[in-house]
Amino acid sequence: MGEIVFSGVTKRYGNTVAVDHVTLTVFDGELLVLLGPSGCGKTTLLRLVAGLEDLDEGEISIGGKIVNDVEPKDRDIAMVFQSYALYPHLTVAKNIEFPLRQRGIPHDERQRRVQDVMSRVGIAELAGRKPGQLSGGQRQRVALARAIVRDPQAFLMDEPLSNLDAALRVQTRADIVSLQQRLETTTLYVTHDQVEAMTMGHRIAVVNHGEIQQVSPPQDAYDRPANTFVAGFLGSPGMNLLPAALGEQGPDAGVPSLVVSGGTIPLTPELGAVARTAARFKAGVRPESLSVDPDGSLEASVVIVEALGAEALVICELPDHTQVVVRQDADRHRPGIGETLRIRVDPVGVHLFDAETGLRIEDR
> 237-361, which class in CATH?
mainly beta
How far is the CA of 182 from the CAs of 177, 213, 217, in angstroms? 9, 30, 20
| Residue spans in the chain of domains classed CATH 2.40.50.140 | 237-361
Rounded distance between C-alpha atoms, residue 345 and residue 267, angstroms? 9
Q: Answer yes or no: are the C-beta atoms of 323 and 303 closer than 8 Å.
A: yes
Is residue 227 predicted with pLDDT exceeding 80?
Answer: yes
pLDDT band of 133, cuts 50, 70, 90: very high
* Segment among 66-70, 143-147, 168-172 with least mean pLDDT: 168-172
Q: How many CA atoms lie within 13 A of 149 on its CB side?
A: 31
| CATH of region 4-230, choose from 3.40.50.300, 1.10.10.60, 3.40.50.10860, 3.90.1150.60 | 3.40.50.300
Rounded distance between C-alpha atoms, residue 364 and residue 64, angstroms? 37
Rounded distance between C-alpha atoms, residue 290 and residue 298, angstroms? 10
Rounded distance between C-alpha atoms, residue 256 and residue 355, angstroms? 18
Q: By three-state DSSP, how is residue 116 classified? A: helix
pLDDT digits (tens, 9 = 90+) for 289-330: 999 999 999 999 999 999 988 899 999 999 999 999 999 987
DSSP, residue by residue, 123-169: -GGGTT--GGGS-HHHHHHHHHHHHHTT--SEEEEESTTTTS-HHHH
Rounded distance between C-alpha atoms, residue 188 and residue 159, angstroms? 11
Q: Answer yes or no: are the C-beta atoms of 229 and 360 closer than 8 Å.
A: no
85-99 CB burial, b ≥16 within 10 A, e <16: ebeeeebbbebbbbb
Rounded distance between C-alpha atoms, residue 107 and residue 303, angstroms? 65
The reported pLDDT for the residue numbered 254 is 54
The reported pLDDT for the residue numbered 23 is 98
* Residue of 26, 30, 28 lying closest to 49 (CA atoms): 26
| Residue spans in the chain of domains classed CATH 3.40.50.300 | 4-230
Number of H helices, E strands in the chain: 9, 21
* Residue of 53, 50, 51, 55 lying closest to 23 (CA atoms): 55
The reported pLDDT for the residue numbered 29 is 95
Q: Helical H runs in 38-91? A: 42-50
How far is the CA of 58 from the CAs of 68, 253, 311, in angstroms? 9, 53, 47
Percentage of residues in the chain having pLDDT higher than 90: 70
